Amino acid sequence: MTAVQPKSDQATITVHNPADGRVAGTVPIEGAEAVAAKARELRLFQPEWEEIGPRGRKVWMNKWQDWILDNSEHLVEVLMSETGKSRSDASLEPVALADSIKYWAGNAEEFLSDRHPKPHSLLFKVKKLTTVYRPYPLVGIIEPWNFPLAMLALDVVPALAAGAAVLLKPSEVTPLSAVEFVRGWNEVGAPPILGLATGYGDTGAAVIENADYVHFTGSTATGRKVAVACAQQLKPFSLELGGKDPAIVLADADIERAANGIAWGGMFNSGQVCISVERVYVEAPVYDEFVAKLTDNVRSIRQGQESTGLKYDTGAMATPAQRDIVDRHVREAVADGARVLAGGKPTGVGTFFQPTVLADVTPTMSCIAEETFGPTLPVVKVADENEAVRLANDSVYGLSASVWTGDIERGERLARRLECGAVNINDALTNVFCPPLPMGGWKESGIGYRSGGANGLIKFCRQQAITAPKLPTQKSELMWYSSSRRQGKLALAAMRAMAGRGVRRVGLRPKN
């Protein structure tokens, strides 16, 4: 078991390392009253955090970034202890977090600067138009278990850079990394505007209840519940949910690169990545060659969890339940006629599941239709690119995809036909490492976006419109009640002249 389910009198969650079952640590289960108290305290300090502006916030965020890099080895150890990751997989997260802080803190001043839109009409040239970005006072963020630090880089960091206070609810499966994340903030002496609430679903519900804006990352089923709760409270929210990302391998692709990239894109973090490659469509002329190279790559993956060094490529599944989903998908595929070319079974140690390649897969199999979130790569043979695009789009999910081809322009054309939020050409997972790009899902993969440059900060802000006169003001405006009827007619005629085209500008009817 990764996390012990709470008993009626239980006050803590005990976290176990899924790779070997050892106890990794404990965190309290915080109820609604405790969460509400934390929210009230965060709100007390948020105005000052907003008031110091992007430059002031950057000072503290840079100190926090230094702490993360200085303590990266410790953070990696904590990550490994609660997730079962290999050291190789876990080592990327503190670096990604530091990179995120550098980006958002470094660009916040530009992204949040007042905007002065151009007046749409000559009548409004006398007005100064301004759009101001004011952060939501308290942002509630609920995160999953697959990337306990890297997920926070995508959501918590930009919310703080925007000037909001943040109340973070990590997954009950992997809360220990979030504890260290907040500890680092506090140790550098930063203002107390980052809070932590640990627990199960009731704790998450309390975070939603007390926040002004909510971001949730997790399953589609839970995302629906979050959306309903936010809608009932008229709270803005964003969701990143499930994925079933396709890879399309065209006959003109560099097959060796495609096999290397798809093996990594499907097996990184044991496939527990929202944008991991979960289904592969290969044009018939290169199907056999691709499958052979992919199988060789996957068979060579080193799986395990080391105490030191970088011995293993990937680690365990985060929970027994997730391992069992992977096992079911493989068994059902084999029962329906698929062939296992690599892996195919749990190892029998902890929650490890062998890196797996499935051939002769059909689109109706559960390993294609359902989100697996594990180390499997089912491969489907297709006649041409049109069939590949049709099958890739035949999903309730639409998070991201990849296209592998020797013709970049062709790849870009196919990308525009795919129904998903991101497409990587001749690469995998790249978009998540590019904060200037929006990251979001279509269809049942989510609502709203992460990152996306300035929009990644503006999403955590309320937009305020301000108008001000450019010229000395008069006692009355032409349309006000204190003006004469003649002045009102003049104002209406001027508005019509600006709104119309041709003879309609002067109130004449066009000739038939």
Catalytic sites, residue numbers:
240
Instruction: Kindly provide the residue ranges of all beta strands, DSSP E only, lying in 136-220, ordered along the sequence.
Output: 138-142, 165-169, 194-196, 213-217
DSSP sequence for 391-420: HHH-SSEESEEEEE-S-HHHHHHHHTTS-S
| DSSP letters for 130-144 | EEEEEE-SEEEEE--
Give phi and psi for 280, each to the nearest 5.
-130, 130
Query: Is residue 424 within a helix (H) or strand (E), and if so which, with residue range?
Result: strand 422-425
Name the residue among 456, 455, 465, 461 with its Cα closest to residue 131. 465
108-131 residues labelled b (16+ CB within 10 A) or e (exposed): beebbeeeeeeeeeeeeeeeebee
The residues facing 379 across adjacent strands are 280
- Contact of 145 with 23, CB cutoff 8 Å: no
Residue in 310, 18, 327, 329 with CA at minimum distance from that of residue 146: 18
| Lateral strand order in the sheet of 400-404 | 339-342, 356-359, 376-382, 277-283, 245-249, 400-404, 422-425
Strand partners for 128:
468
Strand bridging mode 165-169 / 194-196: parallel
Strands 461-469 and 127-135: antiparallel
Contact 38, 167 (CB under 8 A): yes
Count of other CB atoms within 10 angstroms of residue 454 = 16
- Look-up of token digits 């989903």: 325
Contacts of 124 (CB under 8 A, 6+ apart): none
The full DSSP string for 21-57 is --EEEEEE---HHHHHHHHHHHHHHHHHHHHTHHHHH
Query: Are the beta carbons of 35 and 203 closer than 8 angstroms?
Result: yes
Residue pointed to by tokens 């990604």:
96
